[in-house]
Amino acid sequence: MKLASLKTDHPDGKLIIVSHDQALYVDVSDIAATMQSALENWSSCCEALTARYQSLNNGEAKSAAVFAGQSVLAPLPRAWQWLDGSLFLNHGHLMQQAFHLDPIADADKFPLVYQGAGDSFLGARDDIVVADLKHGIDFEGEFGVIVDAIPMGCSAQEALSKIRLVVLLNDISYRALGPREMKTGFGFVQAKGATAFAPIALTPDELGEHWQNGRVCLPLQVTRNSEAFGQPDGQEMHFGFHELIAHVAQTRPINAGTVFGSGTVSNADPSKGQACISELRAKEMIQHGAPQTPFMQQDEVVEFNVFDTNGNSLFGAIEQRVTASNKSENQ
């Protein structure tokens, strides 16, 4: 299925199903009012949602309307928890080499993860509104998953069966604020902006053969100001999402609707480019001794998309523009 949250006066919007070709949508709030409601009652509403999805694709759904990505919120506009991993080891290796950092012990055995703010996710077309253009504005292209309830101590295999939806996201970062917070050992707060999501969340079966071992095995297309920036492939994740989930659940249960992120998609092959500015700057430091590419400034635009082998966008595009909250003070 392809699910989304239509904009309404309510902060959680209204649950809709989007057709496979993303041309049409149908209101399914009679089955589950919101995405969170669907996730909390997945076992009882999944069959009805699937039947409605099939009827929409068959041209049989009543009250079907034209789907427009700008009319939706983030698929899950707010979540109980937002847990972001760092599952692509290549990204960490580049940072360590560029900044002469000591390797993190057992990073290849235990996934790195921190808890971010899940109370107000951004939609795919929402601006990146910043308090100060000097904060080192960066984007981070990631894949993510949204889960059903997970019991404490669940295995990775059980966690895999509890992944309900797959999403595409932009984890906005403020690089000038990160170093001080990292030194505290308490994780990011100021250094992370609100995370933005592509319009559509997919059930894993929609990915077909490209969903393998808890990984999205497709390239993430990234452009900055309409110029190609990277196309790293999700297959190179060192840990699958199920392994990240099981790691977190070792000591606590996880509520339905929790969102897990992959961390910046990163590949060892330099020709794949990158999904964040910081990684490109790290490569420049390694090669030239100093970074050359600036972070984002006023009115710059970043776009993310993932296409299947037939050239169809799977999640819809994320397209965001940078704007300062007070332009006159920041220019």
Q: What pLDDT is recorded for position 327? A: 59
Q: Nearest to residue 164, comparing CAs of 258, 243, 253?
A: 258
Q: Which CATH superfamily is domain 82-330 in?
A: Fumarylacetoacetase-like, C-terminal domain (3.90.850.10)
pLDDT tens digits, one per residue of 101-149: 888 888 889 999 999 999 999 999 999 999 999 999 999 999 999 999 9
Q: What pLDDT is recorded for position 122? A: 98
Q: Where are the domains of the chain?
A: 2-71, 82-330
Share of the chain above pLDDT 70, in %: 98
d(CA 56, CA 28): 11
Share of the chain above pLDDT 90, in %: 85
Average pLDDT over residues 246-266: 98
Q: What pLDDT is recorded for position 6? A: 97
Region of poorest pLDDT, from 41-50, 151-160, 184-193, 241-250: 184-193
Helices (H), the chain: 35-40, 42-57, 89-99, 156-161, 178-184, 241-248, 277-288, 327-330
Amino acid at 102: D
Lookup: tokens for 241: 């999402």
Amino acid at 219: P
**128-146 burial: b if 16+ Cβ within 10 Å, else e:** bebeebebbbbbbbbbbbb
Element of type H or E holding 167 = strand 163-170
Looking up tokens 């523009």, which residue turns up? 321
Judge whether 172 and 194 are in contact, CB under 8 Å: yes
Q: Is 185 left (phi over 0), alpha (psi -120 to 50) or beta?
A: left
Which is more confidently placed, 92 or 308? Answer: 308
Q: What pLDDT is recorded for position 330? A: 52
Q: Find the angle CA(312)-CA(315)-CA(318) to the nearest 5 degrees.
A: 110
Element of type H or E holding 163 = strand 163-170
